[in-house]
Amino acid sequence: MSTEVHEGQILAGKFRIERVLGQGGMGVVVAATHIQLDERVALKFLLPEALGNPEAVARFAREARAAVKIKSEHVARVSDVGTLESGSPYMVMEYLEGQDLAEWVRRSGALRVADAVELLLQACEAIAEAHALGIVHRDLKPANLFVTRRMDGSPCIKVLDFGISKLTVPGSTSDMGMTRTSTVMGSPLYMSPEQMSSSRNVDQRTDIWALGIILYEVLTGRVPFEAETMPQLCGMILQDPPRSLRELRREVPEGLEWVVLRCLEKNRDARFSSVAEFAAALAPFGGQSAQRSAERIARVLGGVASGAYGPAPVVAARTGAATDGNFGGTTQTKKSRGALFIALPLGVLALGSIAFIASRKHAGGPSVEPAPSAQVATPVSAALPAVSAAPAPDVAPVAAPPTASSEPSPPRPSATSAAAPIAKGKTAPKTKPVTGAKPTPAAPTVDPLDGRQ
């Protein structure tokens, strides 16, 4: 490595190398200073041995083109490209201070739920803009999500390394010839089943799978699929269900686990269809900044806003009141509506019965005396003022059937005992003072009791 670049070396006549930030099999990233601008930058270039690989050179150029198209603050900015004296292509990127998400989890352990959600949604903002441009990242992982700080000290995610990104714009041939159908590209722990089979035949839903794996890892410190060999790992990803997230961390809301598992559906048609839908389902588990991120993502992709996503309420309804409010209806709401639909027809039938009885009474004229049960109802109401005050007169005919079984047991025996003496001494003269003592509306007096006579 020291024979390639070293501290103080001048590259392209204007960049002074300060230190090496990282190196891979094909390229190297160094911290450098732009001599004329006195600006610290990150310089990424290919190693000389990679120049003989046309595919590596083409991917390097594609990374620069993809990154410069995405204007989100959550993508490391690319400001220039060029060629070094050795013939190696290079790109100039903004210099970032901080650490990648993989290192952060390795040092600090699993993140708080709200922090994990907000950081993932920041990454989703960058990915949403990439998808809107027809770019699929294909190599999302914690090591490619860099955590830096804004001027106010708040954390900010930067998505790195679009080197194996795929352009999915119809008619584009930029990926043809570079990616054979059998070629496997990406990081196996974060690759979707379809990417395992063919890196070429993927769409934006392979990034949604990777985001689900990342969210699982930052919440638990573990990945959902762990194996000792590559074939075993591939078999697990292709066939086995992921390990339960809440078995590793019980305090994770059940609704959030549902969101993660939806990302990890083997059949990509069963996953969230877009980052906007994923963000809408995820935002309720974060704070206000998470909500704002979801709204920005929806505007970029023309998707749904947070709270508008449908299937989540079934699971989220069991996670607490706050989640219910964000997702919408609960099973209790459905039950109450069902009861309402049953009560309405009963009320109509009861009112119809009253109208029929009243019409019969009116047709009979003076010869129709009040039924004994009506005489019973009046003194009972007088004897038990607390009971008679509870139901409104208009509601009594409808409410009587469902509330009969729910009345407290003491009033019912007392009503029966009060009714017995009156029933025994049932005569016409006794009914006059009773009805005159307490004038009551006609409808409650001839309530379904008259119909039973």
Residues identified as active-site: 139
Tell me the β-bridge partners of 149. Answer: 155
Strands 99-100 and 27-34: unpaired
